[in-house]
Chains A and B, each alone.
Chain A
């Protein structure tokens, strides 16, 4: 066996992969205006709930010296006393949050439609972003709904037989360790399936642009994922792991951040929003990657 030749070929494979990643990042960067637009609309939608929450808290404890305790860091007593005594003040906030999530199912589909079509057509204009979003919203919403239903169906197919087989875990297992490992494994399996569905969903939407039919697009998307399974999976997995990494990073850096000064408060907000922008950016990178494979 010629080990030197193998090493050279490995080296070139890495270079090719690095170039592939570099190209994806470069192309994704071209869509910066679109990325920021998605981020801003997402942030504004979420901020409506945030503002309602702010006023609910202000109405409840806005003139209380308990705020000084809260400034030092998370204080369960302050929050629980507030909810115990002023729970009614948060009724509107709860409705706004739930309504916001439902609303985002539509607005999110709209935004990602604009983003994905622009990436596919290698356009960066904001005008085209919105006009493409309007043009393809309904079929893309159909595809998104179908994949959401598939995801729920798979979740059910995992949970129900597992529950049926296991029954009461305290009775079935002699130790909880295998149960915990089983649950962890199933979460892992479901995550893997979700990553595959994610690749399939994007491939299908990209395919729709040429196919013009939702079901044909899903079929075509399936063929794409079958042919490029490894590449699509690696992209999806990388995006998924980066999401988790950023989430953990955010939680750790924010854990002990108080609110003693405005500088600290704004530092916290800045960190939160940088993580949010990064999440949208990562998703765009994923779209570009899938698009490059499909095309």
Chain B
């Protein structure tokens, strides 16, 4: 049952609060000046140095400064972002974040010791990473506490964070967030705190958040975490959110949100949407419950007590399509029919990020495929499972497509010869980001599923999630889980997982199976019947070599599956008492990376009926166009 409330439901009290190592913990008090789009904030940061190093410097993400001017690394060279012309942007529409006071526990002021640094591109104009030189070093494994006062001014929404018409606000990347101090592959510890660049989003440590918002009382407020307290005085409201084991905290405010809440399997679901989108409330709920049920069964239990889904008003659509811990933003448009499930698909995608990003907190900047690729793979699985694999994305008047089908087509749209590998930092992928990072990775994972079976794939994902949740897993971690699981479940045919990942993540080779020819030559005809010399010629037109089966069907109905290593050209000759009718490589399309499925199978007796059907259908459409075009003739 979906209920409409003016206050979000409270969180499940059974929810465990100690899941991560809680390195970075924040207590933030926010006073929102809605008119001037400014929040004046006081933040207490409790941070643990988990390294054996003595630290003399702290580094912070100051990402709102990416929207301070067009010389920031994020906006440099961009004249137009989401149809907004950067040159014509008035002063009041820019945003910024500034620290007004930075004090140690002992009351020592460090704000004089702060400076913006530019570790990635040396752009002196960029102010998205702040370094604070400490007066007193932090000792190994020491926990420290700082009082940070800051002011954040939201930009008119350029990308996600910002304000919109009628007091719409989305506060994300809005507070000074400490970077990650971690060991490199060589074992040396260092800051991982990249500047804000396109194609990058999150990388932060887990911790507990308490965020108290003091805002005008006409605003409806939602955010990461759960509301634990709410009160009002004349014209103002005070809401306190609490979130545990989060890597970030986002919140939104808008006077026109309708709030829908329900509980599904112990998880509070809250939907915030403008009234004109009310017909999508049920669709959002269905999508998120499908996500919850499927991901719980195939990945692991949902690790938070609540999920908030924000459907931004269309004037602030740039705030949509995004994920934050315990809060996601969708996107809908008045009038999208139920048979077009782009709305559901997006919600499921963003919800899946609660697993791959929020819980398995991979470095989204350096290895974006580790979250976006996995999320897309499961978006396909969830939607195809609940709505059918050839119709889950849209099914309208005879035209239909599945979600995984769409993902593969995105992968196919890549210019394979010039596109670089998947495994590289997000900022290096200048073009074809989505087809490569989302599409190719998801198609690769679906191919892996086809090779190892869905049951083994589930075991891989479950083990990976169980072992690395609330940590920062890497490519090597995932690959080690695959290797271990495959050791426990040896495959009937040779499969080299190292080759598979090396070629697909770090290489650009492709695969295209083709049945070149089938031949039947009658060689004998006597009282015992005829004999045929049969020949099958197969080829892999690509350089990626993956073994698969091909199925030979004979005229007498016998089917013969044969394993082929998928390497180059393959010619198979034999004598048979019956001629071959069809040969099909990978008939179940397990190797989803194949660039062209149509040439996988060849037949001696082609079924021409569909060709006639679609040619006649096209004829009829042309007749319709004639009729319309000659309306006034």
A interface residues, Cβ below 8 angstroms from B: 42-43, 45-47, 49-51, 53-54, 57-58, 60-68, 70-71, 73-78, 80-82, 84-85, 97, 100-101, 104-105, 108-109, 112, 144, 147-148, 151, 168, 170-171, 173-177, 180, 194, 197-198, 201, 243, 247, 250-252, 254-257, 259-262, 265, 268-269, 272-273, 275-276, 279-280, 283
Contacts and interface: CB of A to CB of B under 8 A. Distances in A.
Interface stretch (B110-118, B394-402, B469-477): B394-402
B598 interface: yes
Provide the main secondary structure of the chain A interface: helix
Nearest to B397: A251
B609 A148 contact: no
B104 interface: no
Nearest to A79: B614
A260 to B, nearest CB: 7
B315 A170 contact: yes
A112 B623 contact: no
B623 A62 contact: no
Given A74-B399, A175-B315, A265-B612, 4 more contacts: A46-B622, A81-B597, A174-B165, A254-B617
A68 B597 CA distance: 12
Contacts of A100: 622, 626
A159 B481 CA distance: 58
Interface in B57-74: none
A175 B633 contact: no
Q: Which residue, of A45, A104, A144, A256, has the highest number of chain B Cβ atoms within 10 A?
A: A104
Given A45-B626, A80-B412, A67 B315 contact: no
Given A45-B626, A67-B611, A268-B613, A80 B409 contact: yes
B599 A109 contact: no
B399 to A, nearest CB: 6
B618 A50 contact: yes
Interface string B596-616: 111111110011111111111
B90 to A, nearest CB: 13
B620 A276 contact: yes
Contacts of B165: 174
A101 B602 contact: no
B631 A76 contact: no
A61 B598 contact: yes
Q: Which residue, of B598, B608, B622, B627, has the highest number of chain A Cβ atoms within 10 A?
A: B598
A80 B625 CA distance: 23
Contacts of A84: 412, 595-596
A260 B400 CA distance: 18
Contacts of B397: 251-252, 255
A174 B620 contact: no
A112 B626 CA distance: 12
A104 B619 contact: no
B606 A259 contact: no
Contacts of A194: 631-632
B83 interface: yes
27 contacts: A49-B622, A50-B616, A54-B611, A57-B615, A64-B602, A65-B584, A65-B601, A70-B610, A73-B400, A77-B409, A78-B597, A81-B596, A84-B595, A100-B622, A109-B630, A112-B633, A144-B633, A148-B633, A170-B317, A175-B315, A176-B276, A177-B276, A252-B397, A261-B609, A272-B620, A275-B620, A276-B624
A109 B622 contact: no
A255 B599 CA distance: 27
A58 B614 CA distance: 11
B18 interface: no
A109 B608 contact: no
B166 interface: yes
A57 to B, nearest CB: 5
A74 B400 contact: yes
Contacts of B619: 43, 46-47, 49-50, 53, 272
Contacts of A272: 616-617, 619-620, 623
B334 A180 contact: yes
Contacts of B620: 46, 250, 272-273, 275-276
A100 to B, nearest CB: 7
A71 B607 contact: yes
Contact of B610 (A170, A176, A259, A276): A259
